[in-house]
Amino acid sequence: MSERVLTGRVALVTGGSRGIGRATAVALAAAGADVALAYGRGTAEAAAVASEVRAHGVRVVALEADLRDARAAADLVDRTLSELGALDIVVNNAGITRDGLAVRLSDEDWAQVIAVDLTAAFHICRAALRPMLRKRHGRIVNVSSVSGVIGNAGQVNYAAAKAGLVGMTKSLAREVATRDITVNAVAPGFIETEMTAALPEAARQAAVDAIPMRRMGTAEEVAAAITFLVSPGASYITGHVLHVDGGLGA
Confidence (pLDDT) at 221: 98
Integer CA distances (angstroms), 230 to 64, 141, 161, in order? 24, 8, 23
> Which has more pLDDT, 156 or 3?
156
9-19 residue pLDDT tens: 999 999 999 99
Cα 4 to Cα 88, 226, 249, distances in angstroms: 15, 15, 32
CA 236 to centroid of chain Cα atoms: 20
pLDDT at 238: 98
Radius of gyration, CA atoms only, the chain: 17
| pLDDT for the residue 110 | 97
Spatial neighbors of 160 by CB under 8 A, at least 6 apart, are 114, 118, 148
Average pLDDT rounded to a whole number, residues 223-229: 98
Instruction: Read off the pLDDT of residues 75-133 as tens digits, 9 standing for 90 and up.
Output: 999 999 999 999 999 999 999 999 999 999 999 999 999 999 999 999 999 999 999 99
Q: How many CA atoms lie within 13 A of 199 on its CB side?
A: 18
Quick one: which of 184, 117, 192 has its CA closest to 155? 117
**For the chain, domain boundaries:** 10-243
For residue 207, the model assigns a pLDDT of: 87
Predicted pLDDT of residue 20: 97
Q: With a cut of 70, say whether residue 23 has pLDDT above it.
A: yes
Annotated catalytic residues are: 158
Single-letter amino acid, residue 4 = R
pLDDT score at 2 = 54
Mean pLDDT of 212-221: 96
188's enclosing H/E stretch is: strand 181-188
pLDDT at 199 over 80: no
Give the pLDDT band (50/70/90) at residue 190: very high
Mean pLDDT, rounded, of the chain: 96
The CATH superfamily assigned to 10-243 is NAD(P)-binding Rossmann-like Domain (3.40.50.720)
